[in-house]
Amino acid sequence: MKNKSVQIVEMLFENPLEILEFGKPQSHANMTVIPIIYKGKTLEFISVKEAEELGLISINETDTVSQLEVINNSDKQVLIPFGVTVHGGKQDRTIWEPILLAAGGKQSISGTNKGAMEQKYTIPAKCVEQSRWNYRKGKGFKSSSTRLHPNVAYEAISSAGQSSVWNEIQAYRTEMNYSNKIAPTQSYLEMTENIDEETEKIVNSFKNSENQCGIATFINGEFIGIEFYANPHVWAAMSKDILKAFAIESLRFKDKPVKENSDLSDIQLIKAFQSLKLNFTTRKGIGLGDVVEFESKDKKWRGNTLVHEDSLVQFYIVSKRGGSTQQNQREQIFQTNVSQRYI
């Protein structure tokens, strides 16, 4: 019998309108977004950014590059979304699967008042800063306002592929013509700081609508990806960071031709969803719920979602356009063919 979490995700692709409602498109330059309202069950959780601001969560270095330690002292469930980047420790990292931490801190144990309960987790991470392995400000990390843009996120979703993430970051450096003086440790976060003024202008041109939980994004007239949450409050807290990630992608293609006669509407979006031929895998999440990963059979689309209590806590899917390509099985070279387009 097929896993129930996979069935829920398959239903979204087969009939998006059962779960999603789409708002009026908004555009700026070569980027268009369609607001998303989630019609499924709303879950009560807060974002890692809000938990940090309240001093209720800590993220710390471990002895392993691919793992971080997280302590949740909040009396609420805390979501660490896929694609969040954290700055600090010995190297900047990204969290490559969505993680919903169970309530800790002020929570009672077994219905009694035995004091605070500390929830500690070991979570998977990938490096987004290749040339540093030393502390700058101690073992702690803080989440940054920079999410992975689609091409890097595409590579990060896989359970393998640290080298692919590095290659995609280097390809991005070359695409954007960043000098060697920018981000000498190959820090993705420092590279993107170079275009903060441009991305901020793009982000500020979009406005959230009532009960909005996410966006579908088109760049140069082509569908790029979707991200949404099962909680409008969390979307509001994360929306600028998410828009910034897609804004980075829009700047990669700002000088490329716009697809003519594009119908940037929910109808095109639904057709695009229903046309995808996907393979699904699932596993138990680090915290609550099941992680469902999916990849198109033509290898052009990847995504993941966290399913908890039959609700899509975070949903993410993007396509890869240009960037790095593997020439052979022994090495990957850095390609910058941003004209390579996938429909």
pLDDT tens-digit readout, 319-333:
998 888 754 333 333
3-state secondary structure 122-178: EEEEEECECCCCCCCCCCEEEECCCCCCHHHHHHHHCCCCHHHHHHHHHHHHHHCCC
What residue has token string 């099941």? 290
Cβ atoms 21, 216 nearer than 8 A: no
Q: What is the pLDDT of residue 273?
A: 87
Token duo for residue 84: 């969040």
Within 10 angstroms of residue 107's Cβ, the number of other Cβ atoms is 15
Task: Give the model's confidence band at 2: pLDDT under 50 very low, under 70 low, under 90 confident, else very high.
Answer: confident
pLDDT at 311 over 90: yes
Percent over 70 (pLDDT), the chain: 87
Cα 254 from Cα 153, distance rounded (Å)? 20
Mean pLDDT across the chain: 86
Q: What is the pLDDT of residue 326?
A: 54
| Stated pTM of the model | 0.88
Contacts for 299 with CB less than 8 Å, ≥ 6 apart: none
User: 269 or 139, which is more confident?
Assistant: 269
Task: Give the model's confidence band at 342: pLDDT under 50 very low, under 70 low, under 90 confident, else very high.
Answer: very low
pLDDT at 340 over 50: no
pLDDT tens-digit readout, 178-235:
988 898 888 999 999 999 999 999 999 999 999 999 999 999 989 999 999 999 999 9
Q: What is the CA radius of gyration of the chain?
A: 19
First and final C-alpha spacing in the chain? 33
Task: Give the model's confidence band at 63: pLDDT under 50 very low, under 70 low, under 90 confident, else very high.
Answer: confident
- Nearest 10 degrees: CA dihedral of 285, 291, 295, 300? -80
What residue has token string 């807290």? 237
